[in-house]
């Protein structure tokens, strides 16, 4: 396989890539060597930062393959005009934050960056591309670098940095093309108004600051899913490549559905045991917002067949949804094309059923796009391919987002039923400030002992 990368069209593009690389720091999962996992599971492994002139995701990457582009069918375009296609994972906020220099040392105007997506904008996603690709809804992923090794329990700026990206998303939604969404009803309202329904997801439990309380705060801010881990461990679970189970802290949170009812849990980056245990103990549907199948392409981040089998809608199964990623690392490095992504969708559907598949491209978060799905203009090509393979209109509507909206509605119903349930009070036992509650109690006791009441008879 030969990777051909187009020459970057301008200096701004090269500078933007360098900022993205700095923003990602140790979290460029796709550019790492995954072969050696420590006993602590995969940390943010030693990163190979790709030179600016060689990063295809920002200006288009293609492969020399036998791929033949087919003409998009009118049926696909008609279906997409009538029903919203939802991409459940786009890393545009990361690109915008980097281009806006929104770091503490070199802060400029993030509003300008948000306005730039009116297009043309380097990368996979901007408004013209989304319009051409007939996208209906989008999950903007909040993403900041995660710690490596055992550092995950130390204090960090992760929550702050994540909040800055949420603020960036809010700026995006001030543009007329986007409309904030939290529910399936919001999604349809935005679609009928000709706007992009914009949901928020958080990519990594490290952005919870080792606290279940932060999960509740994310819910209050409108976040609809949290990826349980990214490329390293956190207080709740182990990342892909390890065999460790869930932490008791997370299990306590799972069993108290008020926490999980409003924020869906994304299992895309977690270890096999974390996948299995989450599905077994949670009453919520299992969701993978940007994933692939391990039997299809052997990568530790992909889903093993026994977990795929747990997602079915049969009695005793989970009835969740797996959203297929467009990244060559997970789809398959051997001539990755649109057809290979379609084959992956078919494989997952064969194991789980067509009611359990969706689309989660990982646009703007992947280094190499597959041929035929180079950017957000190409969604109709994939839908046309699935129609050519005999998928019915109903099945394709499900693939485009109907399957996810079914689960989202059920998640919201569960939340309503459990809203009076007492939230978890569990605290991570390795927090470096875990002595603060004790100090506070001691201070109050001291004040109480010294308190004298002057009561007049």
Which residues are catalytically annotated? Answer: 89, 91, 203, 230, 269, 290, 362
Q: How far apart are CA 161 and CA 370, in angstroms?
A: 30
Distance between CA atoms of 309 and 49, rounded to whole angstroms? 37
**If 0-12 CB within 10 Å is exposed, 13-18 middle and 19+ buried, where does residue 73 land?**
middle
How far apart are alpha carbons 292 and 341 in whole angstroms? 9
Q: Which 3-state string (H, E, C) describes 234-246?
A: CCCCCECCCCCCC
Whether 382 and 73 have beta carbons less than 8 Å apart is answered as: no
Helices (H), ranges, 117-242:
127-132, 158-173, 184-192, 212-220
Rounded CA separation 120/389 (Å): 33
Distance CA 355, CA 376 (A): 23
Length of the chain: 457
Strand partners, 227: 203, 266
Question: Do 234 and 204 contact (CB within 8 A), yes or no?
Answer: yes
R_g (Cα) of the chain, nearest Å = 22
Question: What does the alpha-carbon distance between residue 127 and residue 375 come to, in Å, rounded to a whole number?
Answer: 12
Sign of CA dihedral 434, 436, 437, 438: positive
Q: Establish how many alpha carbons lie within 13 A of residue 66's alpha carbon, considering only the half-sphere containing its beta carbon.
A: 2
Q: Where are the alpha helices (DSSP H) in 353-455?
A: 379-388, 393-397, 403-417, 436-450
Q: State the alpha helices, DSSP H only, in 232-365.
A: 248-254, 257-262, 272-281, 305-310, 328-331, 338-352
Q: Is 4 exposed, middle or buried (0-12, 13-18, 19+ CB in 10 A)?
A: exposed
d(CA 298, CA 72): 31
Q: Are strands 357-359 and 287-291 parallel, antiparallel or unpaired?
A: unpaired
**CA atoms of 251 and 368, how far apart (whole Å):** 36
Q: What are phi and psi of 163, to 5 degrees?
A: -60, -35
* Residue found under tokens 């036998």: 66
Give the C-alpha separation, 156 to 209, whole Å: 8
């Amino acid at each position: 396989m030969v990777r051909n990368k187009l020459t970057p069209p301008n200096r701004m593009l090269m500078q933007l890539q360098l900022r993205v690389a700095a923003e990602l720091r140790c979290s460029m999962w796709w550019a790492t060597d995954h072969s050696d996992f420590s006993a602590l599971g995969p940390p943010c492994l030693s990163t190979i930062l790709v030179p600016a002139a060689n990063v295809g995701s920002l200006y288009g990457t293609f492969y020399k393959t036998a791929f033949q582009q087919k003409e998009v069918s009118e049926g696909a375009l008609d279906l997409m005009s009538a029903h919203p296609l939802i991409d459940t994972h786009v890393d545009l906020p990361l690109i915008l934050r980097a281009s806006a220099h929104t770091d503490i040392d070199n802060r400029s105007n993030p509003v300008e960056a948000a306005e730039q997506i009116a297009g043309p904008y380097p990368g996979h996603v901007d408004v013209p591309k989304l319009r051409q690709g007939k996208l209906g809804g989008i999950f903007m992923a909040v993403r900041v670098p995660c710690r490596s090794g055992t550092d995950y329990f130390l204090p960090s700026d992760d929550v702050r940095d994540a909040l800055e990206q949420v603020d960036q998303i809010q700026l995006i939604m001030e543009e007329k093309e986007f409309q904030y969404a939290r529910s399936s009803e919001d999604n349809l309202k935005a679609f009928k108004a000709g706007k992009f329904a914009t949901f928020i997801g958080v990519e990594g439990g490290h952005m919870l600051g080792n606290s279940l309380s932060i999960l509740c705060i994310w819910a209050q801010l409108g976040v609809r899913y949290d990826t349980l881990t990214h490329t390293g461990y956190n207080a709740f679970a182990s990342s892909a490549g390890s065999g460790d189970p869930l932490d008791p802290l997370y299990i306590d949170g799972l069993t108290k559905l008020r926490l999980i009812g409003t924020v869906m849990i994304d299992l895309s980056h977690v270890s096999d045991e974390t996948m299995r245990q989450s599905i077994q103990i949670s009453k919520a549907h299992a969701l993978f917002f940007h994933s692939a199948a391990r039997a299809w392409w052997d990568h530790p981040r992909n889903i093993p067949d026994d977990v795929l089998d747990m997602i079915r809608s049969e009695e005793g199964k989970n009835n969740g949804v797996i959203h297929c990623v467009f990244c060559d690392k997970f789809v398959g490095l051997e001539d990755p094309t649109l057809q290979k992504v379609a084959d992956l969708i078919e494989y997952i559907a064969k194991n789980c059923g067509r009611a359990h598949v969706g689309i989660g491209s990982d646009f703007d978060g992947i280094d190499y796009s597959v041929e035929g799905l180079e950017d957000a203009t190409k969604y109709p090509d994939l839908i046309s391919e699935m129609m050519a393979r005999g998928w019915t209109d109903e099945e394709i509507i499900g693939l485009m987002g109907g399957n996810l909206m079914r689960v989202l509605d059920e998640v919201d119903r569960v939340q309503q039923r459990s809203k009076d349930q007492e939230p978890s009070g569990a605290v991570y036992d390795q927090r470096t400030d875990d002595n603060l509650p004790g100090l506070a109690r001691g201070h109050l006791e001291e004040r109480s002992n010294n308190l004298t009441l002057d009561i007049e008879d």
